[in-house]
Structure 1
Amino acid sequence: MTLTATGGFNTKINYVTIEPVENNAVACTPISTLDCDEIAVNLPFSLEFTGLEGGLANTGFTMADPPSARIAADGPITNPDVPGFEPSRLTVANGQLTVNAAKGLAFVFNGTGTGTSTEVNSQINTLGVGFDASLGAFDIQTTIINPYTDSDATNEFEQGGIWFGLDEDNYVKLVAQNGGNVEMRAEEDAVSPNNSQVIVNAVTGLHTNPVTLRLRVDPVAETLTAFYTVGNDTETLLGTIDL
């Protein structure tokens, strides 16, 4: 800091007050509390959930997709600058990431209300990283421990798995879901026609075993191919849809 007196040799500076300016701006709002240059990662990329991998809440993930709205059942938004990130629902321990799932959902269409997850895109903690997806085919893989709590075919829409895309209206998901199904669904411009963009398989014992999901993305062939493995069984091809 330089102070300059312009009134000649007899000028006196009696005191200087320096007040810090509070800066609460988030560098990469609305997707992250990190700086924008920390969002992208190099491939291959793997997370072991050691709690020492940095990122959001030490999960290793660097971003959370922002939802259109928060439904009342999921409580208030902790950080309005990053509305899709709720660190209190995330725990990393013993090589596992535990997500205390909320009721919000990235639904198949945009509704007009905000009361339930079927009225508006409202999923929180849709965690991810940025990377260059144009360099050729790649796999995204995860293993989920007991992906939901029961075997009933209720309408609770419990699900967990892989999310790949740009935002809540342009993505593909590969999930294990309540009712014993593995589903791959692609959504483009908030539209997901059931006849061409959805593949579902009924799988026995899905809720009581580790489930490994693998999504192969081929930007050259413009295809999405999904696989799943239940427990120690052999890997099963779910199917392929157009990217």
Structure 2
Amino acid sequence: MLTRLVFLSALILVSTVFLTGAWPSSIAPLARQTETTFVPKAVPLDADIVGAGLDAQQLLQKVLTVLEPENTPWLRTKVRQTVTAADSSFFAEGFLQRGPNHCARLEMNIVAKNGISQLRVVSDGDVIAEARLYAGQNPTVSVKRLLADNRTDKNELLAKMGCGGPYALVQEFKNQLTNAAMQTGLLEGNPVIRIQGDLKPPQGARAAFAGRSCCIDLDAETLWPHRLEWQESGRSKNTLTVVRIDFLEPELHRELSAAECMKVFSYRPN
């Protein structure tokens, strides 16, 4: 089974509906994972972009600085996510659009055993709507105000609703990582820097947590996080990827027009 820690990492993107097991009985999840191989290879790095002499934690902090919502208010990326576990597996694909002032839109199609379901989350910065559309059933829609308090700001609330994007996941990845190592290589022909290491066990975790690991592939030129993976060792001691998230075709700093914002950051049932 996935640990709660690993599950939460994945579900930052696809809502707590999967964490709580809230699938209708007719929608048993089914995973679909596209296999692509990381090929270790020497890759030229630009010291002005990547930095010189940085360790894994310092490089991840550099990535976070670039992706921080205040520094990158406009962001759009395709998202592909696979969770493969004995008790809950699924494949999801869609896109995330972020804008200034806590505007966001996440749309995901979830491949399940008996069909495709959809998740849609839309925020105009003040109100956030979440719609879950299960195959053959009426949609479930919830709307609430996006209110910050002394403990949680609006970006954290957006992350909990699935709209944190690469920034929220890299931040959690950085906090989970220990015994990190870096190497360069190619992922789908793209030069990347791979950071991999062990997962820190949560407080009070049992020995069964041993063998959990994670890795991230950063673009060697821009530091964009192409892929994040959470893994565990199987009975045969082989490493099994239980969570994989790909961020594809990123667009940063491309402003939407007022008309586009009205369309993208407003919830409409259809």
Same fold (TM over 0.5): no
Normalization by structure 1: what TM-score? 0.23
Normalization by structure 2: what TM-score? 0.21
Relative to its length, the structure with more helix (as a share) is 2
Relative to its length, the structure with more strand (as a share) is 2
Larger Rg: 1
Q: Which has the higher contact order (CA 8 A, sep 6+)?
A: 2
